[in-house]
Chains A and B, each alone.
Chain A
Amino acid sequence: MKECIGMLLAGGEGKRLGALTNNIAKPAVPFGGKYRIIDFTLSNCANSGIDTLGVLTQYSPLELNKHIGNGKPWDMDRQNGGVTILPPYTAKHGGDWYSGTADAIHKNIHFIDQYDPEYVLVISGDHIYQMDYQKLLDHHKQSKADATISVVPVPWEEASRFGILNTTDQSRIYEFDEKPEHPQSNLASMGIYMFTWKKLRSYLMEDAKQGSSSHDFGKDIIPAMLSDNCRMYAYRFEGYWKDVGTVQSYWEANMDLLDEDWSLSLNNKKWRVSTNDSNFPPQYFGTNAVVKHSLVKSGCWVNGTVISSVLFKDVEVDSNSLIQKSILHPGVKVSKNCILERVIVMENIVIPEGTNIRIGKEEEPLVVDQQLITEMFPLVGGEVV
């Protein structure tokens, strides 16, 4: 028996990330020079002492499956518990895709039941934050709640973009307002739920019977529990939290790492973000190299100028090239005399000599994929000759 196990929703497509999620699920998108988005939540679980985790996958799961493997980087290669990848499946009674977040959990009730947990943590793999779920669990137990939703204060003017929770002074939730026009509170749901398993289980069973339901936590389960007057509490989280749902917010969250505050830090030894590491040699800087205000991963070879940028492993920046406010995914090669500003270059792309792509401050950063390079350089087919 486990006191608390985690269920991590990682099947989302992330449509608004455009080309970044053409071939991989959103949680597997590279982030922060070394990581994938899901590493932040996986590491939160590991650092919070949650050693049993189901990862629900659906959309383009190959990279994600490979990345998580047996869970070793997070010390989740356990004999009892550990990480289990839970894809949609067929069985005697047939089978179907996961039709919503609640449906995904419902279809894996047998997975949860085998650990007979008291509490279940439901999180999603597409947010960037560092949080101790143990504190959330303590709060949940103290308030004898049926469900506790983690909230973060957002600026009032942005509150209407979020799911807002209206609470009493004792932080009991009485209303859930999805993207309200006139918000009464600025406490946004972070999509992090702690449930008392028995309670959630019965609501999931009930919800599964409703043909009209969209089987979604935010739209169906939470409202149903609220209308039954369940004990629902808000847990206030102070610190960095970001939904990297759009190209703009993905880019911003990467840039935020360059000015780390202690609530989001890759260098905090007490809260390490873990991931699969590669075996590339240390990075090399040539005599013409300039590097400032950046994150650079091993295997990089820099002879140009890198300012306020994030370079993943095995990236090359040749001489007389300038990389500014950009994110270069693993294996990107930038030839001589290039200027890149506010762009995100996808894995293994070769930027031909003399390329100049500068995106203005007002515009959304540009995702550079092979198609774009081929269009820009039709004669050489995007390959450096």
Chain B
Amino acid sequence: MNTMMGLINLEHEHHYFHELTYFRNGASIPFAGRYRMIDFPLSNMTNSNIKEVAIFTRNKYRSLMDHLGTGEHWELDRRNGGLFILPPDWNDPSDISKGDLQFFHNNRDYFERGKSSYVLISGSQFITNSNYKAAFKLHLERNADITLVSTQVESLKKEHEPYCRIDADEDGWVRDITNDKKNPQVFTGVYIINKDLLMDLVDECIAHHQGDFFTAAIQENQSKLKIQTYQNEGYSAFINSIESFYRHNMNLLKEENYLDLFYKQPFIRTKVSNHPPVTYREKAMVKRSIIADGCVVDGEVNSSVVFRGVTVESGAVIKDSIIMQNCVIEEGVYLENVILDKDVHVTAGQKLIGSKNKPYAVAKRQVVTT
């Protein structure tokens, strides 16, 4: 049977997360109450029957490794296959590779030992709940070298700018991969490639001193390759800045988006916690919000996303905001258009107001006081 192995390549991901990435890389940014960005590609892979996944990560990966652990929450703690977190380990003195090719070169074993003949490669900034079984089927049927997953974007925004655009014929054969900002057919960063071809292209790139695999091996080589495109359907989002992060969290408060992303089986998985159910006290008022386990709420929460273990004391008001894990919001606090990273403590009576386009972000573990 034909199978795929997975690779989440975090090298060359551009982001503008500012405060949110002081202590972590983009892939481990918390999202939607209990998830991290990496949960989406990782779950989509395991939901596509992929049983081994490698992760290329260069910087600030402590939080990422803590989150992923042994991979058990994605059923990747396996005798055969499993999860391979591959931080930098440049041990080859003759190594002349650069960029993500350095990762490919130094981790050839991962690909060579894997029994699969196909590799599904993804980044961490495309958020969706879909499995890639259909894309793989198409890849095999069309006998393609590479299949690029793309999505039709209704309204193009700044967050789409870093992504290539795809120009394909009616059979889905790719005519051109461009940087044309007006083309709404956006490449999601997810693609399937034949493993032998991948290794050949890696060698070729290194031989020519290239530093970015996708650009050098695929985009600039497209005329020599049989490239298909597969259209991803359903709710999706590109997140690479504070602004897009905030907006897409808020978008999930629309019922249909939340249902499409999180209530469609199989579920997106994440690290499971041991938090109790949410405790609502007498003065709680909650509307149009997403609340995760372990919170204790006695105040007002309106149109907000609240992560696990947050305390909202009586008289506090949280509006259009994102409150991450274990924050404490004391009595009488007012928050509007605010992002609080983990463990932030807002003392009684404080007022923080940001704007929709520029939400006020507070970095991890800060105490907001007079």
Q: Which residues of A pack against B, CB within 8 Å?
A: 32-34, 73, 258, 260, 266-267, 272-275, 277-287, 289-298, 310-312
Q: Do B280 and A279 have beta carbons less than 8 Å apart?
A: no
Interface size class of B (residues with CB under 8 A): 35 or more
Q: List 5 A–B pairs whose Cβ atoms lie within 8 Å, in order of A's numbering.
A: A34-B277, A282-B293, A291-B284, A293-B280, A298-B34
Give A260 to B280 CA distance when docked, in angstroms: 12
Give A296 to B295 CA distance when docked, in angstroms: 10
Q: Do A285 and B262 have beta carbons less than 8 Å apart?
A: no
Give A246 to B287 CA distance when docked, in angstroms: 36
**Chain B, 98-146, CB within 8 A of any chain A CB:** none
Give A293 to B285 CA distance when docked, in angstroms: 10
Tell which of A33, A285, A286 touches B277, judged by Cβ atoms closer than 8 Å. A33
Residues of chain A lying within 8 A (CB to CB) of residue B262: 281
B292 is an interface residue with CB less than 8 A from chain A: yes
Give A289 to B284 CA distance when docked, in angstroms: 11
Tell which of B32, B272, B277, B283 touches A296, judged by Cβ atoms closer than 8 Å. B277
**Chain B, 237-288, CB within 8 A of any chain A CB:** 255, 258, 262-263, 267-270, 272-288
Give A267 to B284 CA distance when docked, in angstroms: 17
* 4 nearest A-B pairs in the assembled complex, by CB-CB distance: A282-B33, A33-B277, A266-B276, A281-B262
Residues of chain B lying within 8 A (CB to CB) of residue A73: 274
Q: Do B267 and A293 have beta carbons less than 8 Å apart?
A: no
B350 is an interface residue with CB less than 8 A from chain A: no
Give A146 to B278 CA distance when docked, in angstroms: 43
With A258-B279, A267-B279, A287-B288 known, 12 other A-B pairs at CB within 8 A are: A34-B276, A277-B274, A277-B275, A279-B270, A281-B34, A281-B263, A284-B289, A285-B288, A289-B287, A291-B284, A295-B276, A296-B278
Residues of chain B lying within 8 A (CB to CB) of residue A279: 73, 267, 269-270, 272
B186 is an interface residue with CB less than 8 A from chain A: no
B296 is an interface residue with CB less than 8 A from chain A: yes
Supposing A274-B274, A296-B277 touch, asked if A287 and B290 sit within 8 A by C-beta, the answer is no
Give A208 to B296 CA distance when docked, in angstroms: 51
Residues of chain A lying within 8 A (CB to CB) of residue B73: 279
Main secondary structure of the interface of B (DSSP, over half): loop
Supposing A291-B286, A293-B282 touch, asked if A284 and B276 sit within 8 A by C-beta, the answer is no
B291 is an interface residue with CB less than 8 A from chain A: yes
- How far apart are B148's CB and chain A's nearest CB, in angstroms? 29
Give A259 to B258 CA distance when docked, in angstroms: 32
Supposing A73-B274, A277-B273, A279-B272 touch, asked if A285 and B280 sit within 8 A by C-beta, the answer is no
Give A243 to B216 CA distance when docked, in angstroms: 69
The digit string for B16-32, where 1 denotes a CB below 8 A from any CB of A, is 00000000000000001
Q: Which residue of B lies closest to A280 (CB)?
A: B267
Residues of chain B lying within 8 A (CB to CB) of residue A274: 274
Tell which of B268, B285, B293 touches A298, judged by Cβ atoms closer than 8 Å. B293
- How far apart are B325's CB and chain A's nearest CB, in angstroms? 12
Q: Do B274 and A286 have beta carbons less than 8 Å apart?
A: no
Q: Do B274 and A272 have beta carbons less than 8 Å apart?
A: yes
Q: Which residue of B lies closest to A265 (CB)?
A: B276
Q: Which residue of A lies closest to B252 (CB)?
A: A284
- How far apart are B40's CB and chain A's nearest CB, in angstroms? 13
Residues of chain B lying within 8 A (CB to CB) of residue A312: 277
Residues of chain A lying within 8 A (CB to CB) of residue B273: 277
Q: Do B276 and A298 have beta carbons less than 8 Å apart?
A: no
Give A267 to B296 CA distance when docked, in angstroms: 8
Residues of chain B lying within 8 A (CB to CB) of residue A290: 285
Q: Do A282 and B279 have beta carbons less than 8 Å apart?
A: no
Q: Which of B34, B258, B269, B291 has the most CB of A within 10 A?
A: B291
Q: Do B255 and A286 have beta carbons less than 8 Å apart?
A: yes
Residues of chain B lying within 8 A (CB to CB) of residue A280: 267
Q: Do A33 and B276 have beta carbons less than 8 Å apart?
A: yes
Give A297 to B285 CA distance when docked, in angstroms: 17
Q: Which residue of A lies closest to B296 (CB)?
A: A267
Give A296 to B281 CA distance when docked, in angstroms: 11
Give A260 to B292 CA distance when docked, in angstroms: 20
